[in-house]
Structure 1
Amino acid sequence: MTTVPQPLTLRAWRGRRVLALLCAVAFLDFVDASITNVALPHIMSDLGFSVQSLQWVPSAYLLTYGGFMLLGGRLADLLGRRDVLLAGTVLLGLSSLAGGLATNTGLFVAARLVQGLGAALMLPAALSTLTTSFTTSKDRHSALGVWAAVAGLASAVGILLGGVLTEGLGWRWVMFVNPIACVLVIPAVLALLPRDLPAARTARFDLLGSVVVTGGTLLLVYALIKAPDQGWGATRTWLELAGAAVLLGSFVLIERSARDPILPLNIFRVPGLAAANLTGLIGFAGMLSMFYFLTLYMQTVLGYSAIAAGAAYLPLTVGVGIGAGIGAKLLTKVGSRAVICTGALVAAAGLFLLSQVPVDGGYLGHILPGLLLVAFGVGPVFVGVTSAANAGVGPSRAGLAAAILNSSQQIGGALGLAIFSAVGAARTHHLLATGGSASIATTSGLGYALGAGAAVTVAAALVALATVNTREGESPMNKPERVLIVGRSPSVLVDAVDILRADGYTANATNQFDRVLDDYDVTDLDVLVFGGMVPADIKEQLRAKVDALNPQVTFVQGLGGIAGLIAAQVRAATSQETQDGVSYDEEKREVRLTLDTPATVTVEAWWGTSFTPPEPKSASMRVFDGQLDAGSHAVPLPEEVPAVASFVAVTVDSATQVFTVGAMPTAVTQLAPASANDNRLPEVGQVTT
């Protein structure tokens, strides 16, 4: 039995509990990146770290966290989000316990490495669960606003919590706090999150691609972490960066030809996704490094204790929460683009103010004003980037989209810290060489680093102009609110729901024929789709009962067990207009179009490649996708599209029509789903005008 989970709503108590749980997971992961910062002197003295090797305490976590993020996100799609989330939580808890009990530097660094791996499994699974569970625009934006607020708060709270624990129970409790939290999270995950089916289907796991991209990302993050110490001009640094470039370039080539890639490259065809992730990478390079430099200023120049330095960030935690809340509300009014740009500019102004702190600076006069501006800017940027980077991504790739977003942020943070450390160090060394005092040189170096961060954050605001402007009610077509698919094949149901949700529909599916009226409110249903394998008598009974409760519902008979085709039929049935000048010429095997005005045209084809159980298969092709001028046009079908048992869907602007190609054998109803999101789609074909 398989039923695609229904979307959650924040109006329901269960929806609010699920959101609280997912945000708790995010808090746990983000807080671990900063909780050890103020405990570093104590860790160094107790375990025997040298000044040079001490950087591995924060860097080991960031290395595996960023390096394994993409793999973690794809595993969430392929294996199920709840299972991957649980596995990551267990890893995080056990490694944290080992780190707290460590008696030497090697064991502690190893524990931090495994901590990062656990977090890399947890975070994409949690974020993709959020984006696929809350599907209405208002609820999704509100949920993302809370998520972003928690993510921003965690980085600041980590420093405060680290200071309190270090000066109270001892530095080992910055590690011991995690197993306690994991013990609370695991039962909540089991209780609140149903065990989900894998959202993506694959015949084989892309082992080569996984190894190459993980190795390339690990080497890149490692090179960025080590560059400030080795020197940016050092041969070793350039060899490491070149090696990372070779591995990541090889990964792209592997994915282009892989049968089931870990990173389907056509995900970057989602409008604005690449720009949103680039904005995140640049923006967080500028903003997140602030914690390192400002903490260093407060402790080394102003002489703050660990707990005082942590407490200095309390206003930031409040400001981030307020900023994220405002950003979430503005998303529905002005869209994500304006929210990101405004937030980035406000944060840049705060970083610029902080770059002007003097040697004898005070908290109220020199630190707090800039800190508050950064807080009010970071919150909206988190909300806007998260919304823009997930817009238009279906459930089968939600984990992948979440992983790409978080990887870009982590790599951006590591890149920013490496570059700005080099900028600050160069300034400090110059002043020391010319006779400046250590405090003046350090302060000036930190100011240069923060100033560079401000400039980069302004650049992020400019890049954000290329992102998708997600907002409530913004849609290219007037889509129905609810679609329900009734069928037999779990894989077809999951894939069809994936495609429809990515296309803006609120879609659900079930193979429990006798539970439709009990499990679903059909009174406000817009479309009811019957799969080809639904028995005729059950179909007649359901149709009569649903029609009696909701006479306005549109019934669609699915043509074969092809998910992409079912989605096309739904689009055809719900088109708000018709296109008279569209036909299919069977003899010439071409789609004919007569357009009165220029229009955006998409022609897609589906067909069976095997009708033999138990593993029937199907294939799909995007024949044409582009803008056509007014006039007569012909789009020929490629030879790959068979002359029988095929379907062609033609979309002209918002109107979709489906045509049958050749004879249709009975066995077509037994087809397994085609992957309408198939990254192996041939290139767009030619059109004759």
Structure 2
Amino acid sequence: MSHPRSPHRLALAALAAGALMNILDGSIVTVAMPAIQADLGFSPAGLSWVMNAYLLAFGGLLLLAGRLGDLLGRKRLFLIGTALFVAASALAGAATSPGVLVAARFLQGVGSAASSAVSLGILVTLFTEPAERGKALGVFSFTGAAGASIGQVLGGILTEALSWHWIFYINLPIGVATLALAARTVPADRGRGLSAGADTLGAALVIGGLMLGISTVVGTARYGWTSVHTLGLGALALLLLAGFVLRQATAAAPLMPLRILRSRNLLGGNLVQILMISAMFAFQIVVSLAMQHVLGYSAAATGLAMLPAAATIGGAALLLSARLIDRFGQRSVLIAGLAMLLAALLLLLRLPAHADYATDLLPTMLLISGGGLAMPAAAGLAMSGAREEDAGLSSGLYNTTAQLGSAGGAAVLTTLAAGHSGSAVRHGSTPTQALLAGYHLAFGVGAGLLTAAIAVAVVVLRPARERVVARPDVPGGDAGSAQRAVEVESGADQ
């Protein structure tokens, strides 16, 4: 496979390294949680804030960070965010108390939000030719699958061989290398200045609404979905976000110009992503739980059993997605990838209590490679309607919906599975049967979410098409004559 041409190839490497560091950090921490709890004396409830502090800052600030990238310069914000993430990682690694670690994790989330929010915006402005952009998006998506799988393995190795502190120190050499490469290779861009979008009230509303919403979803594991706590805070979060939208319609310099919502592909791509990411958690989390609690796999064996899924997702993203998108178009590849994910979850609906890995699990690991096709295609479609001046905002929005899908999918599917299992036990099922019934329900809900994602892709999204336009600036003809050139039109606003 050919890769995007230099010098942009090095810039892509810097963006991918930054993404790898952020995703690696998210998965590597989960493995080390027991060691962190034992060493620092976290309570069971307090330990959850090692993850939640990061998630609140990251998910709550992505949209604002994307807009700040457009206003202050996307390269500048990427460098600032990466530097903050590296510094916070050093603080987390040196933490000797729960308070310091939680504070460091929050700062990591702030830095990660700043760098992640603008990465896609930088990428789509660097690679404007469709085939090159497709390859770049494939490389970028590959880092996601690689980071998640490497983190699970590396976290265990570092924690056992050295200590949990090194799961944070590992970010330092990666981060320093990313900063050095990005400073040299990512082209500088001039933002329009804070005066073009310095909406302080709007920023407060969106940060408050997103953070409160994410906190509410995360809290359902403790309070349940129908508790006064969940319903009250959820209503308040929606009220704050509604206030943000109203503010953007009236503000002289809105933080998020509502014109971006006129793009069908931007709206549809983000909706597909929420549904797809939520459904994929039925695989990533629930399958892992089923292998350990029903099939009797150890944690290490579960990680090894899941490696084919990570390999096939990464391979599809890196080796196949760009070629298929170039030949069949983004929407067709997206629908095909979603159909493969749907087939994987439908197969899991028949997962037996004494499953054989080769016949019952491995086929799903191969079909899940559809995620490696769907993710680059969805990102390309969602960003196809973004104007140059809104690329950072659109990138931040796309990353925000990914976080909402992750948090919502994990909370909803695990809660449904646990609730159904408890009901099955009360009706006379054995513990194993009850667990399996709960997991089957989660797989069924995930399949329903993917069916909805396919429907959105078919009805809402529009494929890119080519049109011939007059380009007087194309060299090679008379000065007064217009040369014919092919441009790509996304159809996103129709």
Which structure has greater strand proportion? 1
Residue 364 of structure 1: aligned partner = 358
CA distance in 2, matches of 1:103, 1:295: 31
Contact persistence 2:71–2:197 (CA under 8 A): no
Candidates 314, 320, 339, aligned match of 1:345 = 339
Give yes or no for the alignment of 1:411 onto 2:404. Answer: yes
With over 3 angstroms needed to count, the CA separation of the structure-2 counterparts of 1:553 and 1:141, relative to structure 1, is farther
CA distance in 2, matches of 1:575, 1:260: 38
With over 3 angstroms needed to count, the CA separation of the structure-2 counterparts of 1:386 and 1:197, relative to structure 1, is same
Contact persistence 2:131–2:322 (CA under 8 A): no
Residue 328 of structure 1: aligned partner = 322
Stretch moving more, 348-357 or 275-284: 348-357
With over 3 angstroms needed to count, the CA separation of the structure-2 counterparts of 1:11 and 1:102, relative to structure 1, is closer
Give yes or no for the alignment of 1:478 onto 2:476. Answer: no
Contact persistence 2:213–2:234 (CA under 8 A): yes
Displacement after TM superposition at 1:450 (Å): 2.6
CA distance in 1, matches of 2:212, 2:375: 27
Taking structure 1 as the reference length, what is the TM-score of the superposition?
0.66
* Letter of the structure 1 residue corresponding to residue 47 of structure 2: L
Residue 493 of structure 1: aligned partner = none
CA distance in 2, matches of 1:265, 1:441: 47
* Letter of the structure 2 residue corresponding to residue 250 of structure 1: G
> What's the Cα RMSD here?
2.5
Q: Deviations over 1:479-525 (max 9, x none)?
A: 53x84xxxxxxxxxxxxxxxxxxxxxxxxxxxxxxxxxxxxxxxxx3
Displacement after TM superposition at 1:206 (Å): 1.0
Displacement after TM superposition at 1:45 (Å): 2.4
Contact persistence 2:10–2:181 (CA under 8 A): no
Contact persistence 2:292–2:299 (CA under 8 A): yes
**1:199-210 aligned within 5 A:** 202-203=195-196, 205-210=198-203
Candidates 283, 302, 305, aligned match of 1:290 = 283
Structure 1 consecutive aligned stretches of length 4 or more whose deviation exceeds 6 Å: 573-576
CA distance in 1, matches of 2:430, 2:100: 38
Candidates 444, 453, 468, aligned match of 2:437 = 444
Contact persistence 1:72–1:120 (CA under 8 A): yes
**1:254-653 aligned within 5 A:** 254-324=247-317, 325-374=319-368, 376-471=369-464, 474-478=465-469, 480=471, 483=473, 525-526=474-475, 550-554=476-480
Residue 71 of structure 2: aligned partner = 78
Displacement after TM superposition at 1:114 (Å): 1.8
- Determine which structure has greater relative contact order: mean sequence separation of CA pairs < 8 Å that are 6+ residues apart, divided by chain length: 2
With over 3 angstroms needed to count, the CA separation of the structure-2 counterparts of 1:355 and 1:55, relative to structure 1, is farther
Q: Deviations over 1:563-619 (max 9, x none)?
A: xxxxxxxxxx7899xxxxxxxxxxxxxxxxxxxxxxxxxxxxxxxxxxxxxxxxxxx
Extract unaligned runs of 5+ from structure 2.
Answer: 486-492
Residue 191 of structure 1: aligned partner = 184
Displacement after TM superposition at 1:367 (Å): 2.5
* Letter of the structure 1 residue corresponding to residue 234 of structure 2: L
Residue 38 of structure 2: aligned partner = 45
With over 3 angstroms needed to count, the CA separation of the structure-2 counterparts of 1:355 and 1:174, relative to structure 1, is farther
Displacement after TM superposition at 1:181 (Å): 1.2
Contact persistence 1:271–1:468 (CA under 8 A): yes
Displacement after TM superposition at 1:395 (Å): 1.7
Give yes or no for the alignment of 1:96 onto 2:58. Answer: no
With over 3 angstroms needed to count, the CA separation of the structure-2 counterparts of 1:392 and 1:204, relative to structure 1, is closer
Q: Secondary structure at the match of 2:252?
A: coil
Displacement after TM superposition at 1:453 (Å): 1.4
Residue 118 of structure 1: aligned partner = 111
Displacement after TM superposition at 1:430 (Å): 1.3
Q: Deviations over 1:111-135 (max 9, x none)?
A: 2222121111111222111100111
CA distance in 2, matches of 1:183, 1:384: 31
Stretch moving more, 242-251 or 23-32: 23-32
With over 3 angstroms needed to count, the CA separation of the structure-2 counterparts of 1:203 and 1:265, relative to structure 1, is closer
CA distance in 1, matches of 2:365, 2:467: 40
Displacement after TM superposition at 1:356 (Å): 3.6
Extract unaligned runs of 5+ from structure 1.
Answer: 1-8, 484-524, 527-549, 556-572, 577-624, 627-689
Stretch moving more, 430-439 or 399-408: 430-439
Displacement after TM superposition at 1:305 (Å): 4.1
Contact persistence 1:165–1:174 (CA under 8 A): yes
Residue 607 of structure 1: aligned partner = none
Aligned residues: 485
With over 3 angstroms needed to count, the CA separation of the structure-2 counterparts of 1:14 and 1:320, relative to structure 1, is same
CA distance in 1, matches of 2:454, 2:193: 34
Contact persistence 1:66–1:411 (CA under 8 A): yes
* Letter of the structure 2 residue corresponding to residue 286 of structure 1: A
Q: Deviations over 1:397-436 (max 9, x none)?
A: 1111111111111101111111112210111211333454
Contact persistence 2:72–2:194 (CA under 8 A): no
CA distance in 1, matches of 2:339, 2:50: 32
Displacement after TM superposition at 1:217 (Å): 0.6
* Letter of the structure 2 residue corresponding to residue 372 of structure 1: L
Displacement after TM superposition at 1:253 (Å): 0.8
Contact persistence 2:197–2:254 (CA under 8 A): no
Displacement after TM superposition at 1:259 (Å): 1.0
Contact persistence 1:322–1:379 (CA under 8 A): yes
CA distance in 1, matches of 2:364, 2:4: 37
Candidates 165, 177, 191, aligned match of 2:170 = 177
Contact persistence 1:339–1:384 (CA under 8 A): yes
CA distance in 2, matches of 1:125, 1:219: 23
Displacement after TM superposition at 1:24 (Å): 1.3
CA distance in 2, matches of 1:131, 1:199: 18
**Which structure's CA Rg is the greater one?**
1
CA distance in 2, matches of 1:400, 1:13: 26
With over 3 angstroms needed to count, the CA separation of the structure-2 counterparts of 1:41 and 1:434, relative to structure 1, is farther
CA distance in 2, matches of 1:441, 1:101: 43
Displacement after TM superposition at 1:27 (Å): 1.5
With over 3 angstroms needed to count, the CA separation of the structure-2 counterparts of 1:479 and 1:147, relative to structure 1, is farther
* Letter of the structure 1 residue corresponding to residue 10 of structure 2: R
* Letter of the structure 1 residue corresponding to residue 89 of structure 2: S
CA distance in 2, matches of 1:272, 1:428: 39
Contact persistence 1:39–1:306 (CA under 8 A): no
Contact persistence 1:164–1:307 (CA under 8 A): no
Q: Secondary structure at the match of 2:399?
A: helix
CA distance in 2, matches of 1:336, 1:24: 25
Q: Secondary structure at the match of 1:68?
A: helix
Displacement after TM superposition at 1:345 (Å): 1.5
Q: Secondary structure at the match of 2:79?
A: helix
Residue 129 of structure 2: aligned partner = 136
CA distance in 2, matches of 1:316, 1:479: 47
With over 3 angstroms needed to count, the CA separation of the structure-2 counterparts of 1:295 and 1:49, relative to structure 1, is farther
Displacement after TM superposition at 1:300 (Å): 4.0
Contact persistence 2:57–2:113 (CA under 8 A): yes
Contact persistence 2:135–2:322 (CA under 8 A): yes
CA distance in 1, matches of 2:44, 2:113: 28
* Letter of the structure 2 residue corresponding to residue 312 of structure 1: A
Q: Deviations over 1:448-471 (max 9, x none)?
A: 223311221121111111344444
CA distance in 2, matches of 1:191, 1:57: 34
Residue 227 of structure 2: aligned partner = 234
CA distance in 2, matches of 1:66, 1:143: 24
Taking structure 2 as the reference length, what is the TM-score of the superposition?
0.91
CA distance in 2, matches of 1:291, 1:262: 35
CA distance in 2, matches of 1:121, 1:86: 9
Candidates 205, 230, 238, aligned match of 1:212 = 205
Which structure has greater helix proportion? 2
